[in-house]
Structure 1
Amino acid sequence: MIDLPAPDPTTIRRGLGTILVVDDSRTNLTVLGRRLGHLGYLTVLSDNGGEALDLIAARGFDLVLLDMVMPRLSGVQVLREIRGSHDTADLPVIMLTGRSDPAAAVEALAAGADDHVAKPFDFDVLAARIARTLARARRIAELKRSNASLDARIAARAVELGETKTQLAATRADRQRLVASIQALNDEVERLSR
Structure 2
Amino acid sequence: MSTPETKSVLIVDDHEVNRRIAGLFLQPLGWTAVMAADGAQALDIAAHQRFDVILMDMVMPGLNGIQTTAALRDPDSLNGDTPVIAVTGTDYNRAEWAAVGVTQFVIKPVDPDDLITAVEEAIRPGRRRVTA
Cα distance, 1:30–1:126 mapped onto 2, change above 3 Å: same
Q: Which runs of 4+ in 1 moved over 3 A?
A: none
Equivalences for 1:103-142 in 2 at 5 Å?
Answer: 103-136=92-125
- Matched with 2:86 is 95
The answer to whether residue 32 in structure 2 is matched with residue 42 in structure 1 is yes
Q: Structure 1 unaligned runs (5+)? A: 1-12, 141-194
1:104 and 1:120 map into 2 onto residues whose CA distance is 17
Preserved CA contact (<8 Å) 1:15 1:41: no
- Answer yes or no: is the 8 Å Cα contact 1:20–1:61 preserved in 2: yes
Q: Which residue of 66, 70, 74 corresponds with 2:60?
A: 70
* Matching of residues 138-177 of structure 1 within 5 Å: none
Deviations 1:128-167 (A, max 9, x none): 110111123xx58xxxxxxxxxxxxxxxxxxxxxxxxxxx
Where structure 2 has 5 or more consecutive residues not aligned to the other structure, the ranges are 128-132
- Distance (Å, rounded) in 1 between the aligned partners of 2:75 and 2:39: 15
1:37 Cα shift? 1.1
Question: How far has the Cα of 1:62 moved from its partner?
Answer: 0.8
- Count of aligned residue pairs for this structure pair: 124
The structure with higher relative contact order (CA 8 Å, sep 6+) is 2
Q: What's the C-alpha RMSD, in Å, of the aligned pairs? A: 1.9
> Are the aligned partners of 2:105 and 2:118 in contact in 1 as well (CA < 8 Å)?
no
Residue in 1 aligned with 2:23? 33
Deviation, structure 1 residue 120:
1.7
SS class of match (2:80): coil
Name the CA distance, whole Å, in 2 between partners of 1:92 and 1:22. 13
Q: Secondary structure at 1:20's aligned position in 2?
A: strand
Q: CA deviation at 1:14?
A: 7.2
Higher strand share: 2
Q: Aligned letter for 2:75?
A: S
Question: 2:87·2:108 contact (CA, 8 Å) conserved in 1?
Answer: yes
TM (norm. structure 1) is: 0.59
What's the offset of the Cα at 1:24? Answer: 0.4
Out of 14, 23, 37, which is 1:24 matched to? 14
In structure 1, what residue type is equivalent to 2:81?
D
